[in-house]
Every structure is written in structure tokens, then in C-alpha cells.
Amino acid sequence: MPFPDDTVEEAQRLVRRYPVARSALLPLLHLVQSVEGYVSDEGIAFCADLLALTKAEVGAVATFYTMYKREPVGDYLLSVCTNPTCMIAGGQDIYEAYVEACGGHVDPEGAGVMVEHAECLGICDAAPVVTINYENYGPVTKDEALELLDKARKGEPPASNVSGYTPPTFKQVEREFSGIEDGTDDYLIEAARLQASAAAGPSYRTGETDIPVTHPGGDPAGHGGELFREASSIGSSPIRQLATDEDREIASELIDGMRGEAVQMAKHLTGEDDPAPAPPVDEQPEMSDEQVGAATGETDVDPPTDDEEA
């Protein structure tokens, strides 16, 4: 399926976060799963085009890591730990009961579920453990596990008894995993701003001598630094062409806001924003009885009776 323009734009943002484009492959595959619910052949081609990789290279990664699925998952992925501690506690029985109940590993009925066995999930003290979209449930009996499956099929998974969270759908979880909404772009812009104001000279990354790189805190060769330079006319680099008009507008607004805050801070530090000093005590106007009462908490007014309060 062709990917919507929003996804293409988000994918490009992910790629710009990294000095080397192929480093964005893992988050990109999560982004693909957040749209497709798995990684289709088109999803592999999409990543390959964006990162100038071959489809074989992308496919090798997508099939190596178990969190990438090559067939539609449905809304809920149920993973059953079948490593020794959980297996002894009944994990293998649960896994086999799931496969039997679903007639295989994928059951498209209802909300749609996929069942898989998992390696140790790291909470063996709760064995046997089942996860729904990576939220843990345990220890669970076989009946409780089948109830979890039933509720997931209805699109109503309960809150995890371990974390207390109710798992969102697989696509929603995958969007979180992609990191597209984790605030990294804002962080990079701020880090670049700090770095630019520190007046550090640029250094150069081996093999990429046309891209200025300085540290710490932020990498102006990345998305944020590039936006910052573009918006504030600090230098230039070949990657500036990657920024969209919308990116430049956002960066300009951010930098204007930062300048406004800096001016306020400067005024505060120099005392320019101090309120007028209070007059000497003997020049202050006398307070009325009501003002004295309000200031001291003492008042001549009788407290309300029970009847008045009612």
C-alpha cells in the first residue's frame, strides 16, 4: 500500500535525526508497523528507498528481530513465555491452548490477534507470564490466560496486573516505539541552540567533512541543528536542503520564543524587572480594621451559627 504523505514526512524526520541515514532503520520499521500493522513488501521497499539500502538489507533486519512481523498482527499480539521457569509453571500449556483456540498463530476474527511464544520476559517471579502488546500479565492460570485471549479478541484487554496499564492496539504501540512523538526534535533544536550560543567552533566527522559537527548536548548535523541554523542564519550545510518550509517556520517561532525568554531572564538578572521598592513603614497608609483582620486572621465578626451555615 502507498504510504500517506504524513507518514512520508514523519519518516523523513526520523531519518534526519541520525548522522548516518541507515541508523534510522529500526524506528522506521516500527513506523511502518504503526501504519500497516506489520511490515509488508511495500513497507520494506519504502524503508529501502528512504535509506538508500537494498530491499534485501531491509528484509534481513525485519526478519532478524522478533518485534517486526511479516504478516498482519491484528489489534493484539499475545506472547507466551515458554522459557524454563514459565514452562514448568504452565507456560507451554498456555501457548498450546492459545494455538488451539485460534486455529493457528493468527486469528483475524474480532479485533484480530496473533499468538507467539516468547523467550524469558525478565519477570520469572510472575511465571507463567503472558503479554498483550508487551504488557505483562502473571502469574496466570490456563483459564485466566484463555480469558485474556477472549477479552483481547473482543478488543477489551484488561489492565495488566503487573504495570496497571491497559495495552493500546498494536499499531498504537508501534507508533510509540517509532519514537516519532518522543520530543527528540524539540530536544535537538534546544541542544543546538545551546551549542550555538556557546560559540564552540565546528569540528568535522570522519568521512563527512562537509558537515559541521560539534558536541556535547546536541548535534547540529542532525535535524534540530539543521533547523536551528536555517532559522537563525547560522552557517549552512548541504543537509539544510532537507528542511521543509514548515520545519523552518516552527524553528523560527521556537527561536523567537527563546529570544523573548532570554530577554526576560536578562532583565531579571540585572534587576530591571524588580517592582518599585516599598516605602518606609512610617510613610505607609494606615490599614483599616478589615485589612488588619484579614492580615492577622483575627476578626470581630462572629462565626456563623449552625442554623446560618445550614
* Contact positions vs ligand FES (CB under 6 A): 81, 83, 85-86, 120-121, 123-124, 127, 129
What's the farthest any 2 CA atoms get from each other in the chain? 90
Measured from the CB of residue 164, what is the shortest distance to ligand FES in angstroms?
Answer: 19
Residues 6+ apart with CB under 8 A from 14: 24, 27, 28, 31, 178, 179, 180
Q: Of the two residues 137 and 228, which places its CB atom closer to ligand FES in the complex?
A: 137
Measured from the CB of residue 95, what is the shortest distance to ligand FES in angstroms?
Answer: 11
Q: Of the two residues 83 and 133, which places its CB atom closer to ligand FES in the complex?
A: 83
Bridge partners, residue 208, by sequence: 205
Q: Of the two residues 51 and 121, which places its CB atom closer to ligand FES in the complex?
A: 121
DSSP 303: P
Dihedral sign for Cα 14, 51, 2, 242, please: positive
Q: Strand 113-118 relative to strand 203-205: parallel, antiparallel, unpaired? A: unpaired
Measured from the CB of residue 16, what is the shortest distance to ligand FES in angstroms?
Answer: 38
Q: Of the two residues 62 and 80, which places its CB atom closer to ligand FES in the complex?
A: 80
**Which has the closest alpha carbon to 185: 40, 14, 71?**
14
Q: Of the two residues 130 and 211, which places its CB atom closer to ligand FES in the complex?
A: 130
State the SS3 of 23-85.
HHHHHHHHHHHHHHCCCCHHHHHHHHHHHCCCHHHHHHHHHHCCCCCCCCCCCEEEEEECCHH
Which three cell numbers, joined as nine digits, stand for 177?
516505539
Q: Of the two residues 163 and 264, which places its CB atom closer to ligand FES in the complex?
A: 163
Measured from the CB of residue 117, what is the shortest distance to ligand FES in angstroms?
Answer: 10
| Separation between Cα atoms, residue 102 and residue 108, nearest integer Å | 9
Measured from the CB of residue 141, what is the shortest distance to ligand FES in angstroms?
Answer: 15
Measured from the CB of residue 146, what is the shortest distance to ligand FES in angstroms?
Answer: 18
* 128 prior amide bond cis, ω within 30: yes
